[in-house]
């Protein structure tokens, strides 16, 4: 009987150690805020032609209370125009971030990954002057590296359900950031 209780306890401890944990190393202060700056690399050729192949982007993450931690509310801003066109995207999302166990994370840093979804406010203008604004659903997958200090790097792939004036903000986002 004692062996089965010991075996069950050992199995439970092993499962808990192997399960990805919510990433909590990304928040270092009393106010759990992360600031990111970077660029959107759109995948649609029309968006590249009218907004550029590199669209400046910034985001602010605020950690939200959660039973398991690692949840963030995010607002971002991406905008650029050229050749008479323009693409502006304001993502307002909720994400869940996880980090694999790393006993040396305070020394080596740690990777994290996650997913998120929310509302994307789009504004597009084509080269012939057609302009359209809309709100649509969208989502993303992300991976990042939190250094042992307060800095991190992050990559996302975002996808939206609709376009504005034929322009899509789908693409890769690359960020560098810091925590407060």
Mean predicted lDDT score pLDDT of the chain? 85
Q: Of 116, 112, 86, 115, give the one whose Cα is nearest residue 101.
A: 112
Question: Of the ranges 20-34, 36-50, 76-90, 98-112, which one carries the lowest mean pLDDT score?
Answer: 20-34
Question: Of the ranges 60-64, 82-86, 139-143, 148-152, which one carries the lowest mean pLDDT score?
Answer: 82-86
Whether residue 13 is predicted with pLDDT greater than 60 in this model: the reply is: no
Question: Helix, strand or coil for residue 108?
Answer: helix
- Domain segments of the chain as ranges: 20-179
Write the pLDDT tens digit of every residue in 137-156.
999 999 999 999 999 999 99
Where does residue 152 fall: left (phi above 0), alpha (psi -120 to 50 degrees), or beta otherwise? beta
| Greatest C-alpha distance within the chain | 78
Q: Tell me, what DSSP letter sits at residue 84?
A: T
Fold of 20-179: Porin (2.40.160)
Query: What is the Cα–Cα distance from 100 to 157, expressed in whole angstroms?
Result: 21
Whether residue 59 is predicted with pLDDT greater than 60 in this model: the reply is: yes
Question: Helix, strand or coil for residue 145?
Answer: strand
> What does pTM read for this prediction?
0.80
Write the pLDDT tens digit of every residue in 92-121.
999 999 988 888 888 999 999 999 999 999
Please tell me the predicted confidence (pLDDT) of residue 67: 62
């Amino acid at each position: 009987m004692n062996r089965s209780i010991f075996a069950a306890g050992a199995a439970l401890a092993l499962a808990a150690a192997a399960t990805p944990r919510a990433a909590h190393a990304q928040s270092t202060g009393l106010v759990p805020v992360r600031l990111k700056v970077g660029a959107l690399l759109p995948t649609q050729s029309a968006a590249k032609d009218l907004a550029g192949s590199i669209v400046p982007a910034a985001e602010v993450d605020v950690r939200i209370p959660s039973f398991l931690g690692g949840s963030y509310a995010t607002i971002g801003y991406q905008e650029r125009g050229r050749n008479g066109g323009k693409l502006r995207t304001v993502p307002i999302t909720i994400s869940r971030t996880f980090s694999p166990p790393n006993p040396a994370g305070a020394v080596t840093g740690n990777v994290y990954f996650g997913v998120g979804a929310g509302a994307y406010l789009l504004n597009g203008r084509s080269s012939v002057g057609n302009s359209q604004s809309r709100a649509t659903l969208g989502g993303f997958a992300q991976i990042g590296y939190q250094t042992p200090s307060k800095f991190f790097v992050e990559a996302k792939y975002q996808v939206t359900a609709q376009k504005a004036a034929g322009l899509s903000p789908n693409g890769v986002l690359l960020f560098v950031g810091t925590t407060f």
